[in-house]
Amino acid sequence: MNICFIMYPWDTIDAENDTSLALIKECVKRDHGVAMCTPANLTIRDSVTNAFCNVITRMEKVPSGLKAFYNKVTLREEMLPLAGFDAIFFRANPPLDPIMLNFLDSVKDDVFIVNSLEGMREANNKLYTAAFGDAHSNIIPNTHVSKNKKYLIKQIRDSTADKMILKPLNGFGGSGVILIERSAMSNINSLLDFYISNSDGSSNYVILQDYIEGADKGDVRILLLNGEPIGAMRRIPGSDDHRSNVSAGGSIAKHVLSKEEKDLCKQIGPKLVKDGLYFVGIDVIGGKLVEVNVMSPGGITYINKVYKPKVKVEERVVDFVESKVLDKLQKFDRRARLRKTVEDA
């Protein structure tokens, strides 16, 4: 099987903790051909979508450690047609580039893509969680999204809560997430100006969300595969930061899903699968769905570490991709045989 990872640059990878690297290593370990490219390296040649790829040279022996694997990898540059791959892992960081999706539209019927282009178009930002609000209003915190500063200030003033969360619509990794308090209303104007207004006159959407009691103790990151939870961890904020993201200084701990969290996964799982969002990470606080991460969900290496040696989440993900590719090939072969029967009649 040949797999392409569309992701961030190879030299920016955290060789000890990167989820994409864990998936790449598992693919190489299974002797699959692996290539990587960034969204900026997509191109069209003779009306065929290609990518300037870094191809991993086959290894006789794959190191067991993630960092050792990263250091041993040798790359060669090749321009390759994307339709020639069996699967594409989409692992680029937000915000989503719509032009890049237009490139991939030409190969979506030929290659199994994780996650689907249609799903990413719908769910690539924090608005996607609102899709679960009408049917399951009990699982998301009260949320407002707007560019209108007056409206947002009114919501803060009208709220019965002493605290709320403010964050940019297109942030990731905990970037830009701040805790605001009614007692500090004098700062709200300047904060909203900073978040909403750009120097070029354009403006950004921001999210204002009810603060969930217990958030100061951290959140739970749950990884879902084909709508089912396959791993979880608790993320605990550092002493100087309210954010629990590991990238923001948080720490991790083992976590066993509660009944409430399992029920939440059951409620949202079918929609995720329907939208082609096969591998996602969700953030949960106090049983409330706070965020759905569909572009480059992380956490595999951390979950593996806290549950070592029993858990290797990347194995289940690659198993799933292999099964989907096999299903696709079998359907193609069956169709070819049936066509030949008709032609020979």
What domains sit in the chain, N to C, each tagged with a CATH number?
A: 2-114+315-325 (3.40.50.20), 142-210 (3.30.1490.20), 215-311 (3.30.470.20)
Could you say which DSSP state residue 160 is in? Answer: S
The ranges of the chain with pLDDT < 50 are 135-136
DSSP states of 161-209 as a string?
-SEEEEEETT--TTTT-EEEEGGGGGGHHHHHHHHHB-TTS-B--EEEE
Own/partner long-range contacts of 66-72 (Cβ < 8 Å, ≥24 apart): 66/15, 66/16, 66/17, 66/18, 66/21, 66/22, 66/25, 66/301, 67/15, 67/16, 69/21, 69/25, 69/28, 70/13, 70/15, 70/21, 71/15
Which phi and psi angles does 298 have, rounded to 5°?
-110, 175
For residue 3, list its beta bridge partners: 34, 87
What is the C-alpha separation between 273 and 159, in angstroms, rounded? 35
- Please say whether the beta carbons of 9 and 20 come within 8 A: no
Q: Is residue 54 a contact partner of residue 77, using CB atoms and an 8 Å limit?
A: yes
- Cβ neighbours, 10 Å, residue 260: 13
CA trace torsion 81, 110, 2, 222 (10° rounding): 120
Q: Are 131 and 271 in contact (CB under 8 A)?
A: yes
- Whether 233 and 303 have beta carbons less than 8 Å apart is answered as yes
Alpha-helix residue ranges (DSSP H) falling in 46-96: 66-72
Can you give the pLDDT at residue 136? 47
Written as six digits, the tokens of 320 are 């799933």
Region of residue 76 (phi > 0: left; psi between -120 and 50: alpha; otherwise: beta): beta
Predicted TM-score (pTM) of this structure: 0.86
b/e burial code for range 169-182 (CB count within 10 A of at least 16 → b):
bebbbbebbeebee
pLDDT score for 168: 85
Longest CA span, the chain: 81
Residue 94 backbone class (left: φ over 0; alpha: ψ -120 to 50; beta: rest)? beta
At residue 238, the pLDDT reads 73
Cα distances from 55 to residues 36, 58, 231, 234, in angstroms, run: 6, 9, 30, 35
